[in-house]
Structure 1
Amino acid sequence: MLQRRKNNNLFKMVILLCFFSFNLEAQNNEFTYAEYLGFVKRFHPIAKMADLEISQAQANLLQARGAFDPKIEADFSKKEYQNKEYFSVFNGSFKIPTWYGIELKAAFENNEGYYLNPQNTVPSNGLTAVGISIPVLQGLVINQRMADLRKAKSQIKLSQAERRLQAVQIMYDASIAYFNWKKNYEEVRLYENYVANASIRLKGIQTLIEQGDKPAIDSIEAGITLKNRQLSLEESRFKLLKAKLELSNFLWTNDNLPLELEDNLIPEENLEQSIGLTLKTNILQTETFSVATHPKINALETKIEMLNIDRKLKANMLLPKLDVGYSYISEPDAFSNYRFEDYKFGINAYFPIFLRKERGALKLAQQKIKVQELTLELEKKQLKNKVTAQQNEIQTISKQKGIITSLVNDNEKLVQAEERLFGAGESSLFLINTRENNLVSAKLSRINIDNRFYLSHAELFKTIANPE
């Protein structure tokens, strides 16, 4: 009888060991969520590609400004036949395009020859000219080079907005990978603890069986429980390995070299407390969400701005084309002695009768603007609703976290009570395993709800699109 009491006390000590915490505090090996996102923002190739798109937009702007660069032109032709100079014609000019389609021009020509065209006859020391060309109607207020420059400036704003959207998307995808890693890591840790519990319980049962206090069938049941948990542990370890590899896809060095997650690194333990600050989703608790600064809204507004430039250009094409040019001409040494009668004047007029091409192009431009305006209004409404829905989801999951925590605590108490009854000979190993399986299920549910909580914050971050 005394031996049996000793064995029961021994089993109770084994049971207490089962509930001893196997989760030691990690020291200096946490890979925090904020550190991880810092790596992604700085070194991920897609983040760098977004910067390159801004550089391309700046290059396009430089190219568009090239349409306003001053130009030097020269044309020389000469013909000789049987020792006779038929003609020698040289024309040089310096042109300065200006913003409103007006072009300034300075020119010099020097021509000679036996068979020179009479209109090319100039004084022996050449002829200089200074003039101006003005598009009186079409092309004065806006023309192709003005439209290209304005669109190139808008393209930089569009690229900046799209860069923010790309940064948000890559940070969102990276966050999903981090949360998946944390979820699988916690599942592995949970199964490791309960495999250890089952192993200790099996050894304790075997000891009692040897002493004749328990039937041999209990060791089979305890062994089945251990094997089932070992299977679950191996499956969770495989998922954790996959999660680590997915996480490594987002880790790069500054030299574009991929990194792998070290085995000794673990996810942030208190992520629930820091995620709102890291993603800045906690700001919405005190501030109202505004769509005015949202990059998607800014991108749509910039697209409308560019389409309006096209519309103005197409509307300008409805005007008749009427270009007027005037040049004052003089010999180089007499240029300062202005003579009103020495000039060259020209008019170039062009106007299609039906304007079907121009009217069709204008109508298409107006329709594109209308489509983008409707898209803009729809996007504003959807963003506001998404933010509200996401905030409600976070609040709902927060309540569920409180409920599942209470449920886990209740199941732990039931398992402990069942262990005490078993030690007193009033319960069975089957009931203990049933209680403990319920506890494992509750803890797995808590891990899943925690993961949903993190995901809901990531969704809210993606919706508000504030990567800075």
Structure 2
Amino acid sequence: MKHILVILVLLYGNALLAQERLPEVLTFKEYLAYVKQFHPVARQAGLKLSMAEAQLLRARGGFDPKIEVDYDRKEFKNTEYYDILNSTFKIPTWYGIELKANFEQNQGIFLNPERTVPQNGLFSAGVSVDVGQGMFINQRMASLRSAKIYRDQSVAERDLMVNEVLYTAAIAYFDWLRVYNEMIIYEGFLENAGERFRGIEQNALLGEIPAIDTVEARISVQNRRLDLEQARVNLVKERLDLSNFLWLENNTPVELQPNIIPEAEILPKVDEVLNIPAVILPGVIPENHPRLMSLELGLRALEVNRRLIANRLLPEINLEYNFLTQEPDEFQSFHRENYKAGVTFSFPLFLRKERGELKLANFRIQDAELDFELKERQLENRILAAFQELQSYSFQTQIAEEMVENYSLMLGAEERKMSFGESSLFLINTREIHLIEARLKQNEILNKFLYAKAGLFRNLGIIPDAD
């Protein structure tokens, strides 16, 4: 990608901090490459994926091994009431199973009898299993699955954000090109009107034509000058609007200088720059469209949540077994007579809260499915409408080009007739006005044609390749 030259960098209001040089022509491809790389919204889109990766890392933390140490001691009037040490190492696993290793060492005069252990402490190793709610899905599992879905969804949403900012930037470039072309049109006709005025003024001085004809020629020059001045004002506005999309590294905004011009022959290059495929079936949504991918992944996340809620209709049953030994080496020889085991059971009688949450989850999924079908249908129609627009504007572009050629021929013929004394300045001005209108109409149709291509780019959810 070429470097943009002659860029005036404005930072902190009116402080001139840096200046680079731009080529005289800022191409559409170069412009979009800068927008994609440096525009704040495009960079924010990249942050969404980083945030999703961070959330996935946080969800995986639910399966991290954990060390717990609980130490409690009481001594009063030289009497040791109790000295309790309980340390545990836990390893959570996927299907509601938790592996545990524990060491206990307790002593004291007023120690609770159930805490009595050998003098050198008591080792235990065991497992805790959820055979009810948490066996096939639990909060840790649901959080991890949702985080993975959110990460993939963030990729689609990032692409949508980049696509949207590139679409808006392209529209700004097309408007800049339209106003610049208008200024070129008015500059050319102002030059023609000026030459015509000077010729008529000379003929009037020689007495070949009435002096009043110079007034009409002067009015024509003034009209062209007014049109040109308005076009210049519009060009300044569009140039500033375009500058909103131009940034450099370190979040440095830039403003184009007046000598920078847009690319003239842009229409043949738009499809390549916007990465629009050569063959697309009208009304057919491309595979992996980011909009539909985001909605589909949102549905998956809702389904994970529904499964978690439906699992709460099951009772909470937790089984725990721990093998006990005085020496860690004895873990190699399993003695069934030394153990600690337990079971916990919990189950609400009416399940009104759980059933209500399950209904709400089902309704949310139905709502998301309806939204998916609506968005899919809307995309199909938008893509079809964009194709119809492109076909129409392609035809209109040919007609407008032929109209400009015909009006140019008529103006040329009228000027030749006037040189023979068979026409008038009024007829020439009339022919020229029609030619100006045709040129402006041609420029407007070109702008609408480019708008339609940008709209197709937006509806297809395309992300151009960076150069």
Q: Which category of TM-score, normalised to the shorter sequence, fits these structures?
A: over 0.9
Q: Secondary structure at the match of 2:256?
A: coil
Structure possessing the higher radius of gyration over alpha carbons: 1
Residue 391 (str. 1) matches residue 387 (str. 2) = yes
**2:268 — aligned with what?**
273
Q: Secondary structure at the match of 1:426?
A: coil
More strand by share: 2
Residue 343 (str. 1) matches residue 343 (str. 2) = no
In 1: Cα distance, 2:48 partner to 2:337 partner: 56
In 2: Cα distance, 1:333 partner to 1:318 partner: 41
Higher deviation after alignment, 259-268 or 360-369:
259-268
Among candidates 70, 73, 84, match of residue 75 of structure 1 = 70
Give 1:335 deviation, angstroms: 2.5
**1:461 — aligned with what?**
457
Provide the TM-score with structure 1 as the length reference: 0.92
For these two proteins, the number of residue pairs brought into alignment is: 442
Give 1:382 deviation, angstroms: 2.0
Give 1:333 deviation, angstroms: 5.7
**2:367 — aligned with what?**
371
Output aligned runs, 1:60-459, within 5 Å.
Answer: 60-284=55-279, 289-332=284-327, 335-336=330-331, 337-459=333-455
Give 1:288 deviation, angstroms: 8.6
Paired residue type of 1:340: R
Contact 2:56 2:147 in 1 (8 A): yes
Q: Secondary structure at the match of 2:127?
A: strand
Q: Deviation digits for residues 92-117 of structure 1, max 9, x if unmatched? A: 00000001111010000100001111
Contact 1:291 1:384 in 2 (8 A): no
In 2: Cα distance, 1:106 partner to 1:373 partner: 47
Change (3 A) 1:159 1:291: same
Paired residue type of 1:127: L
In 1: Cα distance, 2:334 partner to 2:395 partner: 90
Paired residue type of 2:417: L
Paired residue type of 1:216: A
In 1: Cα distance, 2:176 partner to 2:256 partner: 11
Contact 1:70 1:95 in 2 (8 A): yes
In 2: Cα distance, 1:157 partner to 1:411 partner: 57
Paired residue type of 1:43: F
Contact 1:95 1:103 in 2 (8 A): yes
Q: Deviation digits for residues 166-192 of structure 1, max 9, x if unmatched? A: 111000000000000000000001101
Higher deviation after alignment, 53-62 or 363-372:
363-372
In 1: Cα distance, 2:117 partner to 2:272 partner: 80
Give 1:286 deviation, angstroms: 7.7
In 2: Cα distance, 1:199 partner to 1:444 partner: 20
Q: Secondary structure at the match of 1:88?
A: strand
Q: Secondary structure at the match of 1:284?
A: coil
Contact 2:404 2:439 in 1 (8 A): yes
**Root-mean-square deviation over aligned CA pairs:** 1.5
Contact 2:130 2:316 in 1 (8 A): yes
Unaligned ranges ≥5, structure 2: 1-22
Give 1:369 deviation, angstroms: 0.9
In 1: Cα distance, 2:145 partner to 2:177 partner: 48
Give 1:229 deviation, angstroms: 1.1
Higher deviation after alignment, 344-353 or 373-382:
373-382
Contact 1:127 1:332 in 2 (8 A): yes
Q: Secondary structure at the match of 1:141?
A: coil
Q: Secondary structure at the match of 2:90?
A: strand
Q: Deviation digits for residues 8-61 of structure 1, max 9, x if unmatched? A: xxxxxxxxxxxxxxxxxxxx6321111111111111111111111100000000
Q: Secondary structure at the match of 1:258?
A: strand
Paired residue type of 2:176: W
Unaligned ranges ≥5, structure 1: 1-27
Give 1:328 deviation, angstroms: 0.9
**2:40 — aligned with what?**
45
Q: Secondary structure at the match of 2:248?
A: coil
Q: Secondary structure at the match of 1:223?
A: helix
Q: Deviation digits for residues 97-155 of structure 1, max 9, x if unmatched? A: 00111101000010000111100111100001101111111111000010000000001
Change (3 A) 1:282 1:225: farther
Give 1:281 deviation, angstroms: 2.8
